[in-house]
Structure 1
């Protein structure tokens, strides 16, 4: 323990010695636009994610780590003795696409007034590098570990974590570990998530009153721009974007568009009135009877994120993050009782709730280290987020956002505070020493 205290007290000096090197690597990684693309030869999730994967493997080799790659989908860097079991850190290199809401160049690392800006600085390139660099500082000192630690980097977290099954086909999962892709303190439970489309057929031709509708829509965020054209008159709407897991922080344009359509005649007007009354600006599903809640994770969260007209059909897309003690069947059964005739549900994606044992020794130790390093409450929590912890056994979320930081990812001018980056690196450094020395 005395040795650990001495090593920990030297962290800031160690960080400062390598800071310029770390910033150079950070910049190079942000400059790779690793947005998912079409599958190509040896690039199952597109050229961008594959470029980032190859960059990280080469960087890890440069830093002196043992490296590996599975199916051009997941890479890893490893340090420590050749033990049967290993402790794992799992981050992702893929990022969501950019829209026109950026002030700074999205694929450059901009540093201004103590903040980094760029796509992926928070989600998830910056925090992932913080964990890799923390391990590098341990390696640089030649500290002996009891077990090996493997830092894994995937390429499809933003689109359903289809990369992880490739990894698990050939590699054993870690005995324990974390993904730095959520929030602090340590997260022992993630809510269930169901993403669905409700499509209603309009049989009286009244949908023809709408010439067109659209906007900047994606499942990863609540939209800030949309339009609807009715009988030759186009109306545009502007709001405020937020990540899909923080709908309460948005000014969603979809309810504004829906309200415009409530004046229409026939079945179309009735359909828009139904959407307005049952969904509208709600974020808890109350008017659909979906306002489930529990002590562990709070209220159900509803995100209304897109709408589409196709011939005689109108479709709306919503996602719901439901409490950990509530089942998907209960959510869907209640929703079906509220639908109009001629409405059908299609499930786009689903993730059941995940709850881990928060009393595991390493989780308890990490909670204490978080408290010691930050002075903040380290009691384990739950989240509305959907992380790699759902796809990889024995992984929980741990960082990077600190309490009070919300709604940063998946929108323009994504940011990360420089001092937070240093702090999370120190937390991971101390946790590695605690678990593996």
Structure 2
């Protein structure tokens, strides 16, 4: 790769003009894609390993790419690609079409693709259907302007990014390995490092409560480990003469706490249903959200809980997680200069009369090892009688700032935005770590609020157009 920009101002102007002419098509394409409920579900026959919604979204996107004149391939419904250009090497743009559940109360229906005040609302507009559409029309702009390329450009459409990445495992086992690329699935300017991602499942079986006190009969919160839960619901049983006092403690819990609401409903003589509302967010950005589950755990542990395994389970998480999202209480409070502090998200819990399960998402610093996280958690779980049912890991990503790929993207970013192209680190995990010589590049601009995994997710039309220009320029620079 030569370290230079597109030849001349004329080519840049031509690219921008072609993209501007496609403005209406770009907008309508994103609206149409948002309307696919591409949520992971059970397999639905050949070509739909992650459910019919995701399979339909993939087929629709590949059909759109084919109509633009690109070579396309559907790899068994796990992933697909659109390709343009010629040459031995492949420059990859790695996007995904699956989304997380909507969650929360939206201003506009999350799968309608409503346009309001210059914004396209819907689940996936930012994460990651907007960047997917921008990338596709960016590639179309290169084709329409006839810019000569020495490499193939391949947009890879993954279908299981929000879960286990089985899409990439299957795709890369069947297809050529790209030589370099970028994933428009984080933020600008350039992501030079991504923290390691560890997921843990803990469980314990219960018997009936022993003795008097408040019995937590049920507790449910969260849909995905990598999403900070916005709601937690607990059903507690208490002596009739103490029910009013417990209800009052629950109602007062929200006092003095920002963005926390508690609702209490009384059932029969001895049962309370407590619902706690927080603010959803991405697991890698806990400081931007309010975890309803951890607040519920702290609330319940403050009550006079009945002796027994279910109460011990709740106290374990109150004592080892609580409000601490940097892992210090769990004994994993790691940090480094490159990527900062570890983050911990208690994302899912399902507790009933027979037992409970909990799921934890951890983003650990790039210079640390997985075992330095797994070891302390396994030790504490064993000491408390909890089973460690799962301990999965995605290793960190680190690309030095002087790498040729980063230098090229930095020049493109500065040329298109006029902003300083800093290299930063994130806790999120992108497809960039799936291939060699890749980094995350956008789509969130500096100073913008991160909307991934949150209610009322949107992308402004102007940002969508800017992304298309940036990605067209970047593809050309990497493939000349």
TM interval, short-chain normalised: over 0.9
Map of 1:175 onto structure 2 = 179
1:266 correspondence with 2:334: no
Residues 104, 230 of structure 2: 8 Å contact kept: no
**Which deviates more, 385-394 or 298-307?**
385-394
Distance (Å, rounded) in 2 between the aligned partners of 1:2 and 1:51: 36
* Residue 74 (structure 1) aligned with residue 79 (structure 2): yes
After superposition, the Cα gap between the structure-2 partners of 1:301 and 1:11, relative to the gap in structure 1 and judged at 3 Å, is: same
Q: Does 1:275 align with 2:314?
A: no
SS of residue in 1 equivalent to 2:24: helix
Structure 1 position 220 matched with structure 2 position 226: yes
Residue in structure 2 matched with residue 350 of structure 1 by the alignment = 393
Give the Cα–Cα distance (whole angstroms) in 2 for the partners of residues 96 and 308 of structure 1: 19
| In the alignment, structure 1 residue 289 sits paired with structure 2 residue 361 | no
Q: Given the alignment of the two structures, is residue 424 of structure 1 paired with residue 463 of structure 2, yes or no?
A: no
Bigger mean CA offset, 222-231 vs 115-124: 222-231
- 2:20 alignment counterpart: 16
Alignment partners' CA distance in 1, 2:467 and 2:127 = 14
State the distance in 1 between where 2:455 and 2:342 align.
Answer: 26
| Paired residues for 1:88-103 under 5 Å | 88-103=92-107
SS of structure 2 residue aligned to 1:272: helix
| Most deviating of 47-56 and 352-361 | 352-361
Most deviating of 128-137 and 372-381: 372-381
Q: Against the structure 1 CA distance between its residues 360 and 260, is the aligned structure 2 distance closer, same or farther, given a 3 Å change threshold?
A: closer
SS at match of 1:6: helix
Partner of 2:439: 396
Matches within 5 A, 1:117-132: 117-132=121-136
Distance 1:293 1:417 in 2: 35
**Cα RMSD for the two superposed structures:** 2.2
Asked if 1:40 corresponds to 2:44, the answer is: yes
Q: Sort the Cα spacing of 1:48 and 1:206 in 2 relative to 1 into closer, same or farther, 3 A.
A: same
Aligned residues: 436
Partner of 1:242 in structure 2? 281
**1:382 aligned residue:** 425
The answer to whether the Cα contact below 8 Å between 2:90 and 2:152 also exists between their aligned partners in 1 is yes
Q: For 2:464 and 2:70, how far apart are their aligned partners in 1? A: 22
Q: CA 1:203 to 1:373, structure 2 compared with 1: closer, same or farther past 3 Å?
A: same
Q: Give secondary structure in 2 for the equivalent of 1:266.
A: coil
Structure 1 unaligned segments of length 5 or more: list them.
none
Q: Structure 2 regions of 5+ residues with no counterpart?
A: 238-270
Task: Give the C-alpha shift of residue 202 in structure 1.
Answer: 5.5
Secondary structure at 1:404 match in 2: coil
Report the alpha carbon displacement of residue 123 of structure 1 after superposing the two structures with TM: 0.9
Deviations 1:375-430 (A, max 9, x none): 22213222111111233343321111112334411122111122221222111111
Task: Determine the structure 2 residue equivalent to 1:7.
Answer: 11
CA–CA distance in structure 1, aligned partners of residues 442 and 432 of structure 2? 12
2:313, 2:157 → 1: CA distance? 45
- Structure 1 window deviating more from structure 2 (133-142 vs 352-361): it is 352-361
SS in 2 for 1:284: coil
What TM-score, normalized by structure 2, do the two folds share? 0.85
Q: Distance in 1 between matches of 2:390 and 2:209?
A: 27
Instruction: Compute the displacement of 1:91 (Å).
Output: 0.8
Q: Distance in 1 between matches of 2:387 and 2:477?
A: 52
Structure 2 residue 335 is matched with structure 1 residue 335: no
Q: CA deviation at 1:344?
A: 2.5
Three-state SS of the structure 2 residue aligned to 1:316 is strand
- What secondary structure sits across from 2:38 in the alignment? coil
Partner of 1:107: 111
TM-score, scaled to structure 1: 0.93
- Mark the CA change 1:314 to 1:433 in structure 2 (over 3 Å): closer, same or farther: closer
In 2 relative to 1, CA 294–216 (structure 1 residues): closer, same or farther, beyond 3 Å? Answer: closer
Say if 1:300 and 1:322, in contact at 8 Å, map to a contact too: yes
- The answer to whether 1:323 aligns with 2:365 is yes
| Bigger Cα displacement from structure 2, 64-73 vs 199-208 | 199-208
